[in-house]
Amino acid sequence: MGSSRASTTMALLLLVLGAIVSVSQGQLQVGFYSSSCPGAESTVASAVRSASASDSTILPALLRLQFHDCFVRGCDASVLIKGGNNNAEVDNGKHQGLRGLDVIDSAKAQLESQCPGVVSCADIVVLAARDAVAFTGGPSFDVPTGRRDSKVSNLRDADVLPDVKDSAQVLRSKFAAAGLDHKDLVLLSAAHTVGTTACFFIQDRLYNTPLPGGGRGSDPSIPDAFLSELKSRCAPGDFNTRLALDRGSERVFDTSILRNIRNGYAVIASDAALYNDTATVDVVDSYSGLLSAVFGPYFRPDFADAMVKMGSIGVLTGSQGEVRKLCSKFN
């Protein structure tokens, strides 16, 4: 009787322990590769540093790459797949101008020689974005790893991506669908503190905005002097000229972008929209005020937290998905 009860207790204990192990294997954790591939994170950092030495603009591009991956099906490297019939996710027009895929490929090739089949492309994307933030003068922070790569990449899946023409309400809705709130929306939009945009993305704002009295023209919310400045840089039909997203501070990771948004100097419409919505205007003000650096809220740690949160969207872990040998194709 006692032996039977002990056996039952042991069986239950083993069942519980097994469940705990199963859960832990299915979760992200900081230092996931510390035993299986100790040089994983430093190898990615080295690849990012090497790429930025010859092209500093690749850093904000890598940050954008994580955003574009995570918002479509989750952080699963689906955006890296290159299809032969223009039907892969990356072929969607919303990914226009996406760069940095070659940096991910370079890091992956190095890691495959060190630890074959261990480090996922999805993790490399997130680590590269983290390093890009640090290399532009932003905060250094830990990101949990352990993601797996998806076996799916469809053109139309990327339709869910936020768009420069979206209102604040639409942006909040899209962020909410990804498990992010209005504070995350402001913080992650503030990644525009570094980098540039093409005139393609502001043509409608400058020349084709629906006007209250009818017809189309320039967005009436743009201050006159700033409008003249933008038009001098982006003539009608000019899609390729690039200009700073954070006017006057595009090379420094700081809160200047939020002050620009507050003062009417947002370059793209989706940034400007953040100051025309009751849910986001207070967040913009809270980080762009003079006393924020002293009394909080503190932008740098909050931005890091938002990046980690975004990096956890829809992840595949444990036995889900796969670890690709090449980031651009399924195994």
Residue stretches of the annotated binding site for substrate: 162
295: number of CA atoms within 13 Å, CB side? Answer: 5
Query: What's the CA gap between 281 and 261, in Å, rounded?
Result: 10
The pair of structure tokens assigned to 40 is 């994983």
Q: What is the CA radius of gyration of the chain?
A: 22
Of 64, 68, 73, 205, the active-site residue reads 68
Query: What's the CA gap between 208 and 205, in Å, rounded?
Result: 6
Residues at the binding site are 69, 72, 74, 76, 78, 89, 162, 192-193, 246, 254
Place of tokens 């991506």: 161
Beta strands in the chain (DSSP E): 196-198, 209-210, 216-217, 242-244
Q: Which amino acid is at 65?
A: L
Output the DSSP codes for 257-269: HHHHHHTT--SSH
The pair of structure tokens assigned to 257 is 């972008």
- To the query of whether residue 182 is one of the catalytic residues in this protein, the response is no
Residues at the binding site for Ca(2+) are 69, 72, 74, 76, 78, 89, 193, 246, 254
Residues at the binding site for heme b are 192
Reading phi first (left if > 0) and then psi (alpha if -120 to 50, else beta), residue 102 is in alpha
The pair of structure tokens assigned to 136 is 């532009």
The pair of structure tokens assigned to 185 is 């929306």
The stretches of 196-250 forming alpha helices (DSSP H) are 203-207, 224-233
CB distance 100 to 58 below 8 Å: yes
Active site residues: 68
